[in-house]
Amino acid sequence: LPNRTSEAGILIKEFRKDLGRSTSTLEIRDLGAGATEGLAARRQRTVGQIARSSPVPERKGELLYRICKHYQPQNCLEFGTNLGVSALYQLAGLESRSRFISMEGDPGLAALARENIQKNGFEATVLEGEFSDLLENHPELMDFHPDYVFVDGNHTEGATLAYFHHLLPKMEAGGMIIWDDINWSAGMRRAWDQICAHPEVSLSIDLYFVGIIWIRRSQAKEHFCLRALL
């Protein structure tokens, strides 16, 4: 597990600092579990405010980078692009053959994320729309069989379980799913426990702030709890 910043992480850290200083404003649509006023609610925020509050913390970003570097998944799917910061960590770890698709519900954020990813010299597809709509209807996702998924948005029990059941038959054998914020609420914890108990989940690792599962259909079940390491 990461205990020092990688070279890629140093560059991303600098980029994050620049984003954090940005005073340009965005009118964003409030989505996900924290949204209080429904999907139509819009709020003015500066890019700096978003950059300082929404993206993965550095250590989690480093973990994503190292996982991608180690496993070199070929078909990656991310829920929750935001400004593209976590995408940068993952893309930095991937070799160019990998396909990376990220989904974001807010059009302004999706546009900025595309810009940020390109500015850093990476290629990714950022799909704009509500996660469930995209999963069910977007042509790019119809025949997409991910071997790596990072779920970082809409942390409710119901949505988490719905995404899991949608993803399960689509996942490549041996594929992994990283769930962010498994202890964010009692509901998220229940969802995580149910996911780990599913017969097709052969390996699960609880890192407290994130949970990682592998779908290795022929392997005996194992569960590990590595608390306080992130």
Ligand X SMILES: C[S@@+](CC[C@H](N)C(=O)[O-])C[C@H]1O[C@@H](n2cnc3c(N)ncnc32)[C@H](O)[C@@H]1O
Binding residues for ligand X, per CB under 6 A? 31-32, 54-56, 80, 82-83, 85-86, 103-106, 109, 130-131, 152-154
Cβ neighbours around 2 below 10 Å, total: 18
> What minimum distance in Å lies between the beta carbon of 199 and ligand X?
27
CA distance 88 to 100: 11
> What minimum distance in Å lies between the beta carbon of 60 and ligand X?
8
**Alpha helices per DSSP H over the chain:** 7-21, 47-53, 58-71, 85-93, 107-119, 131-137, 139-142, 157-167, 186-197
Query: Which two three-digit tokens encode residue 38?
Result: 């429904």
CA distance 58 to 60: 5
Of the two residues 78 and 206, which places its CB atom closer to ligand X in the complex? 78
> What minimum distance in Å lies between the beta carbon of 71 and ligand X?
18
Of the two residues 151 and 205, which places its CB atom closer to ligand X in the complex? 151
> What minimum distance in Å lies between the beta carbon of 217 and ligand X?
28
Of the two residues 178 and 195, which places its CB atom closer to ligand X in the complex? 178
Of the two residues 82 and 204, which places its CB atom closer to ligand X in the complex? 82
Query: Which two three-digit tokens encode residue 47?
Result: 């890019």
Phi and psi at residue 188, to the nearest 5°: -65, -40
> What minimum distance in Å lies between the beta carbon of 103 and ligand X?
6
Of the two residues 85 and 201, which places its CB atom closer to ligand X in the complex? 85
